[in-house]
Amino acid sequence: MRLVILGGPGSGKSTQARQLCRHLGIVEISSGNILRRAIASQTDLGHKAQPYVEKGELVPDEILIEFMRQRLLQPDTAKGWVLEGYPRTAFQAEELDFLLEDLNQQLNWAIYLTVPESVMMTRSVARYVPSEQTPPTQNQAQDSTPSTKSRLDDHPKIVPRRIELFYERTVPILEYYGYRQKLLTINGDQPPEQVQQNILHKLELDD
Ligand code: AMP
């Protein structure tokens, strides 16, 4: 199964991606976690991404696209994956399709977790704990491991920009996947277990 999870900040993407991966026994690839870890470990990718991530701006497409290309060629992706936070722009979505075509693979579904803007704001800001700003350690090496509860970009001054970018750059992807009949829209403004159940039901994976 190959899935993409789309949604604004605080829509529950990472919680749902994690649970889905556990359920399906496939790998979670979270672009946000990868970038936060790269920044903490001061890798080349981290150096390039840091100025964007800390301001809540999107990392340039070409950086992410090349990284994801390499990531999706790794052997642990053979059984399938859930991409969380990627693609985030129409260009990334198109490039993902080109890459999958090259690999002779197909995306099954793009799952869109819809929540009101006010919920994006309150959930993100609620995660922000100024005293816990220690970056993730290198031990948190897996893509799917939550990097840290508190994120600098959940700062109340940065979240509005992330929300704005979600509407400007990511919402257009919904049409892209809708047109290809790959879009599943799920109400994300419910308890996480309910959201998960609804996703499994739509994927026809509930018992
Ligand atoms: P997230 O954890 O998904 O909210 O991502 C945190 C930050 O990482 C975003 O605000 C962006 O700065 C960057 N980022 C993550 N995924 C992408 C992506 N697909 N394209 C560009 N920037 C990204």
57 Cα nearest atom in ligand 1: 12
Separation of 36 CA from ligand 1 center, angstroms? 9
Q: Which residue minimizes the CA distance to atom 1 of ligand 1?
A: 32
Residue 11 Cα to ligand 1 midpoint, Å, equals 14
The rounded Å distance from CA 182 to ligand 1 centre is 22
Q: Provide the pLDDT for residue 131.
A: 58
pLDDT digits (tens, 9 = 90+) for 157-174: 999 999 999 999 999 999
- pLDDT tens track for 175-198: 999 999 999 999 999 999 999 999
* Stated pTM of the model: 0.90
By most ligand atoms within 8 Å of CB, the mutation choice from 14, 54, 59 for ligand 1 is: 59
30-35's contacts with Cβ under 8 Å and 24+ in sequence apart are: 30/84, 30/85, 30/143, 30/144, 31/64, 31/68, 31/83, 31/84, 31/85, 31/86, 31/88, 32/84, 32/85, 33/84, 33/143, 33/144, 33/145, 33/146, 33/147, 34/67, 34/71, 34/143, 35/59
Kindly report the protein residue whose alpha carbon is nearest to atom 15 of ligand 1.
Answer: 32
- Ligand 1 centre and the CA of 156: distance in Å? 17
pLDDT (tens digit per residue) in 110-151: 999 999 999 999 999 998 887 555 544 444 444 544 444 568
Closest residue (by CA) to atom 12 of ligand 1? 53
Query: What is the CA(25)–ligand 1 centre distance, in A?
Result: 24
